[in-house]
């Protein structure tokens, strides 16, 4: 009996601990489930009733900590329910248009198709190749005046006098091409309408690398497409991007710009137009370019007034002197150059202003209008500032001697 009485309490204690252990597990699971439900309900309330978490409460929480907010952060605008891109698109989108252009182009018939001998044996099998065909393309543009003036790229409307302009609201107009300038790739279209939505121009001379860039257009036929990025660079020379025939210092952006975007606006975060998108750089991946709006506006004013633009012209081809250029000229042309740097004239166009003034291939340009020049781009910019018909003093080095020749500035030929 004693043994039994001594073992009884022990058995009772063992059963109590086992039962407690068994009960603890469900209680733990239930607690976790209730905790998860509480977090979920709290998150739902916070999301559905944001006014319960006012800015005053946020400030109280922030003030309870010792963390100091940098002054430059404190000046940033508050984040709203709709981001700035949405605001820009709502404001500018109605002024962006689609431009459909068609042009007649001549087709080249292979010479053998016209050979009598060839036709004699294969006449019935020779396909009838038309002498002309219709080429169609789509681009973008944006309205700059309520009476229907539209800016776009020259290559969008090249070879045609009329285009079809479609507004975002679905209205369609026949647009008249007032003028094109292939040198800057700018064109102006006019449609007969009133009280149209318009864009606001910004200042492309005050752009900063890294600021926001928004492109709106109709890439690949997809109307009203919006892409965003930043300003990657400014002042990109036409020679740097493989379009040396253009007289534009391009804006570079990583906002996607594809065929069909050409002519559409590039916008800043305030919705101001800072450039005209152009998809002339082939094989670009993640790189887009735009014509600065300040340049485009000055060209557009001339196109509206006269239908054409007169660009100053000397008639020379230049290259910057480098060790590689010196070696290549010596090997291919037998030209010996003593200068280590400078701008070498490699060709003078016959019957050009430069030819009439006595400039020669092999001359090294030292200054233009008493201003030193370091690169061909510098020369081009200096000439672009000169009025057609004025006399421009050009100082060159020839055979170790300095010469100053006065060139009467002409008009750049359309070709």
- What are the residue numbers of the active site? 155, 185, 262
Cα radius of gyration (the chain): 35
Give the max Cα distance, the chain: 137
Please state the three-class secondary structure of the chain as a single string.
CHHHHHHHHHHHHHHHHHHHHHHHHHHHHHHHHHHHHHHHHHHHHHHHCHHHCCHHHHHHHHHCCCCCCCHHHHCCCCCCCCCHHHHHHHHHHHHEEEEEEEEEEECCCCHHHHCHHHHHHHHHHCCCCCCEEEEEEEEEEEECCCCCEEEECHHHHCCCCEEEEECCCCCEEEEEEEEEECCCCEEEEECCCCCCCCCEECCHHHCCCCCEEEEEECHHHCCCEEEEEEEEEEEEECCCCCCCCCCCEEEEECCCCCCCCCCCEEECCCCEEEEEEECCCCCCCCCEEEEEHHHHHHHHHHHHHHCCCCCEECCEEEEECCHHHHHHHHHHCCCCCCCCCCEEEEEECCCCHHHHHCCCCCCEEEEECCEECCCHHHHHHHHHCCCCCCEEEEEEEECCEEEEEEEECEECCCC
Closest by Cα among 403, 313, 396 to 353 = 313
On whether the CB atoms of residues 193 and 147 are closer than 8 A, the answer is yes
CA 360, CA 151: separation in Å to the nearest integer? Answer: 40
Q: Is the dihedral of CA 72, 76, 78, 81 positive or negative?
A: negative
């Amino acid at each position: 009996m004693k043994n039994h009485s001594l073992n009884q309490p022990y058995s009772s204690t063992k059963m109590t601990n086992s039962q407690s252990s068994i009960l603890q597990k469900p209680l733990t699971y239930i607690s976790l489930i209730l905790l998860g439900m509480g977090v979920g309900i709290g998150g739902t309330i916070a999301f559905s009733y944001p006014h319960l978490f006012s800015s005053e409460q946020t400030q109280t929480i922030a003030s309870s900590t010792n963390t100091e907010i940098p002054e430059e952060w404190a000046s940033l605008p508050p984040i709203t329910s709709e981001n700035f891109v949405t605001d820009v698109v709502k404001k500018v989108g109605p002024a962006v248009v689609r431009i459909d252009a068609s042009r007649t182009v001549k087709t080249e018939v292979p010479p053998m198709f016209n050979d009598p001998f060839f036709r004699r044996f294969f006449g019935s099998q020779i396909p009838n190749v038309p002498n002309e065909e219709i080429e169609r393309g789509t681009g973008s543009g944006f309205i700059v005046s309520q009476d229907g003036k539209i800016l776009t790229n020259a290559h969008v409307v090249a070879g045609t006098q009329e285009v079809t302009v479609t507004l975002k609201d679905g209205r369609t107009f026949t647009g008249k091409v007032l003028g094109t300038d292939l040198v800057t790739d700018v064109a102006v279209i006019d449609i007969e309408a009133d009280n149209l939505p318009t864009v606001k121009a910004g200042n492309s001379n005050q752009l900063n690398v890294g600021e926001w860039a928004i492109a709106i257009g109709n890439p690949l036929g997809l109307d009203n497409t919006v892409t965003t990025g930043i300003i990657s660079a400014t002042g990109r020379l036409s020679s740097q991007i493989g379009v040396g025939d253009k007289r534009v210092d391009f804006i570079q952006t990583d906002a996607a710009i594809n065929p069909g975007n050409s002519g559409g606006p590039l916008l800043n975060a305030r919705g101001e137009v800072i450039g005209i998108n152009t998809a002339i750089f082939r094989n670009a991946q993640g790189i887009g370019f735009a014509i600065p709006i300040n340049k485009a506006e000055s060209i557009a004013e001339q196109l509206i007034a006269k239908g054409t633009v007169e660009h100053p012209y000397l008639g020379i081809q230049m290259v910057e002197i480098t060790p590689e250029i010196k070696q290549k000229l010596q090997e291919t042309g037998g030209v010996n150059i003593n200068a280590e740097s400078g701008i070498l004239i490699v060709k003078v166009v016959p019957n050009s202003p430069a030819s009439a003034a006595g400039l020669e291939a092999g001359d090294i340009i030292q200054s233009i209008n008493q201003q030193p020049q370091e690169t061909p781009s510098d020369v081009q910019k200096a000439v672009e500032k000169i009025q057609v018909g004025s006399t421009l003093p050009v100082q060159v080095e020839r055979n170790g001697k300095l010469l100053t020749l006065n060139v009467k500035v002409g008009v750049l030929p359309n070709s």
